[in-house]
Structures are given as C-alpha cells and as structure tokens.
Amino acid sequence: MLPSSVTKALPSTAELPCSDDTPVDNEDQNLLPNLLLILLIYLWSDRMDWYFGVDMGVYHTTGLSPYVPVVPDGFLSLGVERKKNGKSRSSYAVWEEQGIVPTMTLEMVSHKPGGEYDKKLALYAKLGVLYYVIYNPEFWQRDRHQPFEVYKLEAGEYKLQIGEPYWMPEVGLGIGRTQAELGGLTQEILTWYDENGRRHLNEAEQEKARAEQEKARAEQEKARAEQAQEKRERLEAFLRSQGFDPDDLPSS
C-alpha cells in the first residue's frame, strides 16, 4: 500500500473517467461479463467483501501515469466493499481500495487484437493480478491460442493453466464455458463453477430445478400409489377365485 503522503497527491475517482471510451467490438463484450456479475450477485448475496467491474477503468501506479487506466472487460476484486462508502463506483482506483488490485481480470479478444497476449498480459503481471482469463471464441486460430485460457501469476510471471472449468481456490470459484439459452437463442457463455466442476445455477435455474424435483417426487408418489393399488386388486381377485370375500375376511 502506498503511503498517505503519496495517495493524497493522486487524483480521486471523482476526477477520473469511468472508462477509456473505447467502443466495444461486439455485444458479447458487455453481455458475458455482465452475466458473470449477475450470477455472482446471486451466489454471494450475503457477502459484502467483493466487487466485480465491467468495462471499468482500473487506475493504478505501476504504469506511466496514474491518470491512464487499464480497462478489462471484467474484473473481480476480493476484500473490498461491494459499495464504496455506500455508493456505486464510477471507476476503480487501487490507491482508494487499500492497495487491493483485482484478483482476476477478463479480456475478450475482438476483431482487432488489443494486446491481450502480450501488452495486457505484461501489465496485469506487473500490477499483480493473480488470475488472467482470456476468452477468444472466434479468433483463437488467428492468434494461435486456445478459445479459453487461464493464466496464473507465479513468481511474477503468468503460467498457462490446464483444465476447464478451471478452479481458483483463492477465489472459491471455478470459471469456464457452457451453452445457455438467452432470449430464445442458444449461445456459448462464460459462467461460474464449483470445486467439483458443477455449473452454478442462477436463481431462475434453481427455481426450475426445484420445480422439476417436486414434479419428479410427485410422479414417483403417484407411481407407488398406483403399484400398491394394482397389487391390492390382484390380491382381491385371487381371494375371490378361491371363494373368499376380500371385504369379509376374519380379523386376526
């Protein structure tokens, strides 16, 4: 953490632009990080020690100027307030967050390469971001990389990790791809997973799963009742065939 004498000389987030005003290349650059955010709001609704930013400027002091931000498509910081002093952030300045840098950053590769595999990789490593996720579903062959890659900072350098979904123990979440239906269309999205590789369901999916479980239980109960009724009817038919009245049997 920087000394107070230094941070006092740095600009406040009220003075800094929220982003770099660079237009996104396609709608998924906003959609997919926001889906991660929405799911996280549901999963961590009882936690107030995290923040997930989408297309927001992260201001830091490891570059040429504290006035020049890096703007990930998405980033997750742990150990910070959900709401800064009870208010929404317009940008994220590391010196106003007790020196806490994002734990994870997400970059989505677009038509025009943005230095995701070199310049930003080096910048995030210098900043100290533990996990760097690159999502490149369309241009991975052009860039000679995989569509989904996770890098972890080890001894100051990023090492490409193996496995998907990839579990991040320091975060308590895994991240990976899945097919989802959005507005009547099926497409690939990024989402969160648990330690066992099971996809975390959102609130609507949880409700649907509970409804399906209740329906399955009701059907099982109905089937058991029908089997019992059928068994009783067979027994009564057998008793009648032997000359006994099922309704007039001696009590034990």
Question: What pLDDT sits at residue 8?
Answer: 57
If one compares 52 and 236, the residue with the highest pLDDT of the two is: 52
Q: Is the pLDDT of residue 2 over 60?
A: no
Q: Is the pLDDT of residue 197 over 60?
A: yes
If one compares 204 and 38, the residue with the highest pLDDT of the two is: 38
Mean pLDDT of 98-107: 97
pLDDT tier, 216 (very low <50, low <70, confident <90, very high otherwise): low
Q: What residue has token string 């900043």?
A: 127
pTM of the model: 0.78
Domain ranges of the chain: 4-200, 208-246
Both tokens of 127, joined, read 């900043």
Q: How far is CA 228 from CA 92, 222, 231, 249, in A?
A: 65, 10, 5, 20
Fold of 4-200: tt1808, chain A (3.90.1570)
If one compares 234 and 52, the residue with the highest pLDDT of the two is: 52
**Alpha-carbon gap, residue 20 to 70, rounded angstroms:** 8
Report the percent of the chain where pLDDT is more than 90: 60
- What type of residue is 198? R
Q: Are 141 and 171 in contact (CB under 8 A)?
A: no
Phi then psi dihedrals of residue 83, to 5 deg: -120, 125
Q: Is the pLDDT of residue 234 over 90?
A: no
**Alpha-carbon gap, residue 230 to 39, rounded angstroms:** 47
If one compares 110 and 16, the residue with the highest pLDDT of the two is: 110
Question: What pLDDT sits at residue 231?
Answer: 86
**Alpha-carbon gap, residue 56 to 104, rounded angstroms:** 14
**Alpha-carbon gap, residue 48 to 51, rounded angstroms:** 8
Residues in the chain: 252
